[in-house]
A = this chain, B = another copy of it.
Amino acid sequence: MNKPNLCIAHSGGVTSILNTTAAASIAEARASGYFNTIYAAEFGLNGLIEGRLFDTSQLSDKQLIQLAQTPSSIFGSCRYKLKSIQDDPQSYQAIYQTCRMSNIQYLLYQGGNDSQDTTSKLSQAQAHFDHPLAVLGLPKTIDNDLHGTDFCPGFPSAAKYLATSIQEAALDTWAMSRNSTQVFILEVMGRHTGWLAMATGIARHDPAQAPHCILTPERPFNQQQWLAYVQHCVDRYGFCVVVAAEGITDLEGQPLITSSEQDAFGHAQLGGVGATLSAMVRNQLKLKVHWALPDYLQRSAGHLRAAVDIRCAQQLGQAGVRALMNGQSNCMLGLQRLDDDPHTFTTTQIDLAKCANLEKKVPQTFIEPQHYLLSANAKSYLQPLLSGESTPTYIDGLPCYLQPQQLKLTQFNKALSRS
């Protein structure tokens, strides 16, 4: 009997646990005996369009374990805005041709809110082709801004990394504050939402503790008020530690930093808000300031991941495969917290219309506006997510990560290949 094949594809910015979900899906699909070959698309949608796939049977059980602890996506991700089938029939034809040639009848597509739009479009395109293709979305984004799921896999680990880092940088800044640096600014990811910035406040119980200030895109930035607050902290505590999301806006709602560069979805590529805030402190308060920009380090920190994040990433990977086998498609799986055990989550089906292209904001009640203290609600939301540690295996002093260069590619659909 000719069994169908399954394909995994990644989309959008990577996380430190995307491979963990992939490894769990591959293991679950292998164990099920339902599929013949389990593929992974090279660079997400690109690989499907160009027929460039990894046959994951090349990964031994031992390598699957190594894959699960490797951050980023070993198969590559994409920033690819799929147009409607009317506007771009060629891409859809190419994807379906790849799937037909490789007998892929099931697709697990993992990504953020833009990517779930792709899940939806690919699912609906099924009607136009004679090859069966069930498409299921899995959530993923350190931004944590997807609706319908308690949290987005990748967020807890990034939040744990940043909350740890800001505690460490705060100790450093305090130690230097007598003759040197008195203000430290950490610029974190978050274009439109401040989930990561907010999360760094988790260990803060009174206004004297760092981070003294948390700036999110949900609250307009008032320069004069902010500078006065920074000065107040320095006067009172001897130092001031600030966390700022990259996408904070001024009082008119315009991003504090804009750039002419745009990504494939038309989003402005932000960056440099830490430098801008530093310049304000230096020039107007005449205080010495340091700033840090962890950039990719925050979302690929495989060396410091949250145990709950890993567990849920595996759970989603397994549940995704089972859902496809059970005939579910054209939806996204989300995570739902159990009330009686907030560290345990179940998977649920989310209507794509309720998450694709939509952004979940940080509730206004989560951060008290005067001293930037987190509310009890915010803490009870965050605490279970950040709990538990998991460190990778080390060899010769460095984490033992699988490398994409170790994988062999299979080329289908050659006419459309880029090479």
- Chain A interface (Cβ within 8 Å of chain B)? 10, 13-14, 16, 42-43, 46, 70-80, 160, 163-165, 167-169, 171-180, 184, 202-203, 208, 257, 260-261, 263-264, 270-272, 274-276, 278-279, 282, 288, 290-297, 299-304, 306, 383, 386-389, 391, 394, 396-399, 401, 403-405
Contacts and interface: CB of A to CB of B under 8 A. Distances in A.
B290 A292 contact: no
Contact of A78 (B179, B279, B299): B179
A16 B394 CA distance: 20
A76 B174 contact: yes
B294 A160 contact: no
B383 A387 contact: no
Protomer copies? 2
A299 B165 CA distance: 11
Contact of A290 (B257, B296, B388, B404): B296
A180 B262 CA distance: 10
11 contacts: A71-B171, A76-B174, A160-B398, A164-B303, A168-B297, A172-B296, A271-B275, A271-B293, A292-B295, A383-B397, A389-B394
The 5 closest A-B pairs by CB, nearest first: A386-B397, A43-B178, A72-B171, A292-B295, A270-B275
Nearest to A180: B79
Given A43-B177, A172-B296, A260-B282, 5 more contacts: A42-B178, A73-B175, A179-B264, A274-B293, A387-B397
Nearest to A166: B297
Given A165-B297, A174-B404, A179 B43 contact: yes
A294, A303, A388: residue with the most chain B Cβ atoms closer than 10 Å = A303
Contacts of A304: 303-304
A280 B242 CA distance: 29
Nearest to A405: B208
A202 B398 contact: yes
Contacts of A76: 174-175, 177-178
A261 B290 contact: no
